[in-house]
Amino acid sequence: MLTVALPKGRIAEDTLAIFETIFGDTFVFDDRKLILETADFKFLLVRNQDVATYVYHQAADIGVVGLDTIEEQGLDVIRLLDLQRGRCKVAIGMRKGEKLDLSKPEIKVATKMVNISKRYFAERAVAADIIKLYGSIELAPLVGLSDVIVDIVETGTTMRQNGLEVVEEIMESTTYLIANKNSFFEKKGEVLDIYEKINRVISAK
Ligand code: PRP
């Protein structure tokens, strides 16, 4: 039995669809239920930011989560497989026409991704005042809360609609299959089996 942590929303649906393809069965959570048990799997429905936490503490053996979130949280989990879905970028955005000047004495950065931001500016020896927000990041430069934002860009629509543009890309992200380190050894056969089956489905597309 493998416990699988899935982030609520599209990624969970996509991943369950992959399992349905593999096993020719239906995998659907009952209304409001957070656990779905099948013969071989226990699926957990968690918040996106909590997937790696469940896996790191071995409350789940494996999980599915974006590379951006893995990098931001820095939890020690095994990155088993790039699922080549949910492609997006973590990027620096500014008001249209403005230029990123790394020689400024201090840059005010609004972001959900505090650690990725800190690392980026520290590596360039730039003093950054990092302001943690929980959403609607694009608003910050429009009202003078920050000079720049570090945020997820998928289609680019949110930035464009708010008069912002990408001035620098920090990283590319896709969804990954991750595993707990102990589970990987204790349940190696099961983990590698599902890894191979998922890999076959995503490679076939
Ligand atoms: C994410 C991100 C951007 C938007 C990017 O926000 O923070 O705001 O999606 O997507 P786009 O490039 O396709 O427009 P999310 O939907 O998670 O909302 P929140 O930031 O307000 O939590």
Question: What's the whole-number mean pLDDT along residues 98-105?
Answer: 93
Residues 146 and 195 in one domain: no
> Please, are residues 176 and 62 in contact by the beta-carbon 8 Å criterion?
no
Residues 47 and 80 reside in one and the same domain:
yes
Q: Please, which pLDDT band fits residue 205 given cuts at 50, 70 and 90?
A: low
Residues 152 and 189 in one domain: no
Give the structural domain span for 160.
Answer: 88-172
Co-location of 14 and 79 in the same domain: yes
The predicted model scores a pTM of 0.94
Residue nearest to atom 2 of ligand 1 (CA): 152
Phi, psi of 109 (to 5 degrees): -120, 120
Per-residue pLDDT tens for 149-180? 999 999 999 999 999 999 999 999 999 999 99
For ligand 1, mutation pick of 69, 134, 150, 154 (most atoms within 8 Å of CB): 154
- Do 108 and 154 share a structural domain? yes
Total number of domains constituting the chain: 2
Does residue 151 sit in the same domain as residue 78? no
**Which residues on adjacent β-strands are paired with residue 90?**
152, 171
76 pLDDT higher than 90: yes
Same domain, 100 and 48: no
Answer yes or no: do 146 and 190 share one domain.
no
* Averaged pLDDT, 108-133: 98
Residue 193: CATH number of its domain: 3.40.190.10
49 lines ligand 1 (CB under 6 A): no
- Indicate the pLDDT class of residue 133, thresholds 50, 70 and 90: very high
User: Which pLDDT does position 41 carry in this prediction?
Assistant: 97
Task: Please report the pLDDT score of residue 66 as a whole number.
Answer: 97
**Cα distance between residue 202 and residue 174, in whole Å:** 13
- Dihedral pair phi/psi, residue 105, rounded to 5°: -60, -30
Give dist(CA 122, CA 127) in Å, integer: 7
Nearest-angstrom CA–CA distance, 87 and 202: 14
Residue 183 Cα to ligand 1 middle (Å): 33
